[in-house]
Amino acid sequence: MAHELPPLPYDYNALEPFYDEETLHLHHDKHHQAYVNGLNAAEEKVAAMVKAGEFDAAKATAREMAFNGSGHVLHSLFWTNMKPGGGGEPTGDLMDEINKLYGSFAAFKGLFLATANAVQGSGWGILAYSKMNKSLVILGAEKHENLGVWGVKPILALDVWEHAYYLKYQNKRPDWTKTFMESLVNWDDVAARLAKAKG
């Protein structure tokens, strides 16, 4: 079954003034759709290779699967990780996990923002849960798929590709990431994803 672009969980203008409507249309409707289309095309190529028994394109197709598939997964997470009236601090088990590992929310926030801002070129700041280590981990992913860790479940994804913020924030990535954390992040969604990852 072909992958589809998930609908946004809010109106296109709902995140104003922190995330503008024009960027949201372009980012969701054009960029994310392109990753969905690329993933579907890659899966069709795999099916054709298997049917024909010809695997010369396996390397290129695997790269397309990783790039577009990871782009689709992380964008799908990114939309639900934001909400109107977001920001602030998490509570409950999520805050307990943050305090246990990082000592305070301020320290966690500082490290998360520094990691996202330090991504070279295009990529993501990611908070994930490692079931093997039973702990949170902060990662900086280049492109969508590089520098990841196997076995972790992303629960918070901050998009730092320029297309995610350029119309409003130009080349000021730290302004975008700070705004995301202070005014957009949906801690309820992150907490629910943590509970599911632990389960």
Position 188 confidence tier, pLDDT thresholds 50, 70, 90: very high
Paired tokens of 75: 């964008």
pLDDT in tens, 21-49: 999 999 999 999 999 999 999 999 999 99
> What does the alpha-carbon distance between residue 71 and residue 97 come to, in Å, rounded to a whole number?
27
What domains are defined for the chain? 21-80 (1.10.287.990), 92-198 (3.55.40.20)
pLDDT at 79 over 90: yes
Quick one: pLDDT at residue 149?
82
Quick one: pLDDT at residue 150?
87
Mean pLDDT, all residues of the chain: 96
pLDDT at 1 over 80: no
Quick one: pLDDT at residue 146?
86
pLDDT in tens, 112-167: 999 999 999 899 999 999 999 999 999 999 998 888 888 899 999 999 999 999 99
Quick one: pLDDT at residue 117?
98
CB 105 within 8 A of CB 99: yes
pLDDT at 7 over 80: yes
**Mean pLDDT computed over 57-86:** 97
